[in-house]
Amino acid sequence: MLDFIRRERIYIWMVIFIFGINLLSIGHMRKKDLPDKKTISLMTFKDMGVTEGKIRLFFESKKPSAIFFRYSLFAGFLMLMAGIAMNILFLFGRGKILPNKIPEKKSVSWGIMDIARVAIIVIFSGYIFGTVGSFILKPPHFNMDVNLRMMFGTFFIDIIAGAVILYFVLVKYREKLSSLGIAFESFYKNVLSGIAAYIFIMPILILVLIVSMLFLDAIGYKPPTQPVFDMFFEEKRSSVILFLTIFVSIFGPIIEEIFFRGFLYNAVKKRFGALLGMLLSGALFSVLHTNIVGFLPIMILGVLMAFLYEITGSLIASISIHILHNSIIVGFVFFIKELLR
Q: How far apart are the first and last CA of the chain?
A: 61
Report the percentage of the chain scoring pLDDT > 70.
Answer: 84
Q: Are 204 and 301 in contact (CB under 8 A)?
A: no
Question: Which of 301, 310, 316 lies closest to 275, judged by CA?
Answer: 310
Average pLDDT over residues 127-144: 66
> Over the chain, what is the mean pLDDT?
85
Is residue 185 within 8 A of residue 273, CB to CB? The reply is no
Q: For residue 236, which phi and psi values (nearest 5 degrees)?
A: -110, -20
Report d(CA 327, CA 183) in Å as an integer: 23
Residue 143 pLDDT grade (very low, low, confident, very high; cuts 50, 70, 90) = low
Q: Write out the DSSP string of 149-171.
A: HHHHHHHHHHHHHHHHHHIIIII
Rounded to whole angstroms, the Cα distance separating 270 from 207 reads 33
Omega before 140 within 30 of 0, i.e. cis: yes
Q: How far is the C-alpha of 282 from the C-alpha of 124, rounded, in Å?
A: 24
DSSP calls for 205-223: HHHHHHHHHHHHHHTT--P
Q: How far is CA 91 from CA 20, 96, 304, in A?
A: 53, 11, 17
Please state the separation of Cα 31 from the chain's center in Å. Answer: 31
Cα 22 to Cα 26, 65, 124, 157: the distances in Å are 6, 44, 12, 18
pTM over 0.75: yes
The answer on pLDDT for 305 being more than 70 is yes
Residue 294, pLDDT score: 85
Q: What radius of gyration, in Å, describes the C-alpha atoms of the chain?
A: 22
40-44, 112-116, 272-276 — which is least confidently predicted? Answer: 40-44
* Cα gap 322→328, rounded to integer Å: 10
Least confident span in 10-14, 88-92, 133-137, 225-229: 133-137
Residue 82 has pLDDT above 90, yes or no: yes
CA atoms lying within 13 Å on the CB side of residue 75: 9
11 SS3 class: helix
Q: Output the pLDDT for position 149.
A: 75
* pLDDT confidence tier of residue 34, bands split at 50, 70 and 90: very low
Give percent above pLDDT 90 in the chain. Answer: 50
Window from 41-50, 243-252, 275-284, 299-308 with minimum mean pLDDT: 41-50
